[in-house]
Structure 1
Amino acid sequence: MAKLIVRLNWLWRLFATGLAFTVFGVGGMLLPLYALPILLLTPAGVARERRARWLVHVNFKAFMHMMQGLGIMRFDARHLDDLRRPGQLILANHPSLIDVVFLISVLPQADCVVKANLLKNPTMRGVIGLAGYIANNDPEQVLEAARASLRRGNSLIIFPEGTRTVPGKPIRMQRGAANVALRLGQPIRPVLITVEPDTLTKHRPWYQIPADGPFTMRLTAMPELPVSSVYEHMPPALAARKLTRSLEDYFTEELRTHGVAGT
């Protein structure tokens, strides 16, 4: 009987996972349509931008609660008061498919640097356009857009790895996030995201769900890291390379401390 219950629970979670991602995909395509009347009633400019990002936040928050309500996952976010202070540069590791959804679900006003090829994704294209997120197709344009966004009081999310981490592999980061921090002189707010057991990770399809029960996502905002003045005396390329290596070491050590195997 116990084995039958476990099997039925697994089948339910498999069905519910497919249902949740179907709802997410359809919702992503419909969001710009039902948001348009709301935004047309909002004055153009910063007010409209803030309303659009709040709408994305609300929808992503609803998705996370739906996943939890269906028994697919549990989630926990720590030190949110620190994380929600405006105008922060937030760098997060990237273990799963829904990391950006999780982060934006707890941040009512967040900007985000996204991969340019997501503009071709029918689910995400409308959301990115609605919220005005920054595509990473040109480094100088990213830098200027990041500066302007932070000045408007947005928090800016960047995933320095650029793609999901392969479980058990070392963290490897691109230099774009370090360049933004250095060029803008902006302190860094590290965020650790963990997923236990591994699911929705790179090279693991959505239907490979945990056998024993829901997975747990945890988000931890860490103390802010100032950008050391030592980098000011280095050539920009060398400074970005050294800061990137320092961030790799920091995230590797903190994730190990927080009990993530394989880091």
Structure 2
Amino acid sequence: MHYLLNKLNQLWRIFATAFGFTLFGLGGLIILSTLWFSLIRLFIWDKHRRHIIAQYSISFSFTFFLWLIKGLRVIDYRFTGLEKLRQDKSCLVIANHPSLLDFVLLASVMPRCDCMVKESLLNNIFVRGVIKAAGYIPNSKASKMLPHCLDTLAEDGRILIFPEGTRSIPGEPITLQRGAANIALRCQADIRLIHIECNPPMLIKHQKWYDVPPTKPFFDIRIGEKVAIADFADDNITVSARKLTRYLTSKLSHTTNKINYKENNEPVT
């Protein structure tokens, strides 16, 4: 009987996941990109104001989406230390990246937040409208990217970066690219670290959306320390970036190494 109940619960979460992501996709494409952001472009001529309104709109929609899938018992989550994040201005927010939902979770609690995104996403019909409306920063050439970052930070903005560049694989060492460290050093911006754990793993790299774990995943998001960029400043940017990247790797690895799992995604007890 217990096995049957677990299977029924898993089947329910597959259905609820499909419903939630269908609603998420349609909402992002039709309501936000096609309708709401078009109205913003029509009536708000100031680009900076448009970006802020779009970011608040995205945060609100993500909050609703998370409320929905939590209510449907697809996932559960907890934030610790949010008061630190809400006080942050003019800094980079750097997090590990175990799941596809990481950005959704963080953006839901950061109404004003720019994000570093892959430039290739501008070719994705589902998200390019959102990226452009919110003024997110493509990881293009430094000559284009750095001025954008400097402008955002000068206006008390925050830039969210997942320095791994892609979702991590549970149980494997993480590897950070040096881009985040270079941006922090060249813009002289402090770094707020965020630690994300998901147990059992869900929506990890190479995992299909319907491959839901046997038990409900729990996301634990902890707002960590503030890294002072002055502690890593040096005349040689390359050396400083390597040193800072090693430090960030050690801090974020402390999170990912705690995740324990089996090949079939069953939680280890």
TM-score by length of 1: 0.92
- Paired amino acid for 2:101: I
Match of 2:161 among 137, 158, 169: 158
Aligned to 2:264: none
Matched residue, 2:237: 236
Alignment-derived partner of residue 10 in structure 2: 10
Instruction: Tell me the alpha carbon deviations over residues 64-116 of structure 1, each in whole angstroms, 9 at most, x when there is no partner.
Output: 11110111000111211211223221011111111111110110100000011
Aligned residues: 258
Does residue 261 (structure 1) correspond to residue 245 (structure 2)? The answer is: no
Tell me the alpha carbon deviations over residues 106-148 of structure 1, each in whole angstroms, 9 at most, x when there is no partner. 1010000001111122221111111110010212321111110
Distance 2:40 2:189 in 1: 34
Q: Secondary structure at the match of 1:122?
A: coil
Q: Find the aligned partners of 2:82 and 2:173 in 1 and give their Cα distance.
A: 27
Distance 1:5 1:119 in 2: 43
Question: Whole-Å Cα distance in 2 between the matches of residues 253 and 75 of structure 1?
Answer: 20
Aligned to 2:267: none
Q: Distance in 2 between matches of 1:40 and 1:219?
A: 37
SS in 2 for 1:199: coil
Q: Partners of 1:22 and 1:230 in 2: how far apart?
A: 45
Query: Equivalent pairs: percent with the same residue?
Result: 37
User: 2: CA distance between counterparts of 1:180 and 1:261?
Assistant: 32
SS in 2 for 1:223: strand
Aligned pairs for 1:11-160 (under 5 A) are: 11-30=11-30, 31-35=32-36, 36-38=38-40, 40-85=42-87, 86-160=89-163
In the superposition, the TM-score normalised over structure 2's length comes to 0.90
Q: What's the C-alpha RMSD, in Å, of the aligned pairs?
A: 1.7
Change (3 A) 1:229 1:74: closer
- Quick one: distance in 1 between partners of 2:143 and 2:24? 32
- 5+ residue gaps, structure 1, are none
- Flag structure 2 segments of 5+ consecutive residues without an equivalent: 262-269
- Which residues in structure 2 correspond to 1:132-211 (within 5 Å)? 132-211=135-214
Q: Secondary structure at the match of 2:180?
A: helix
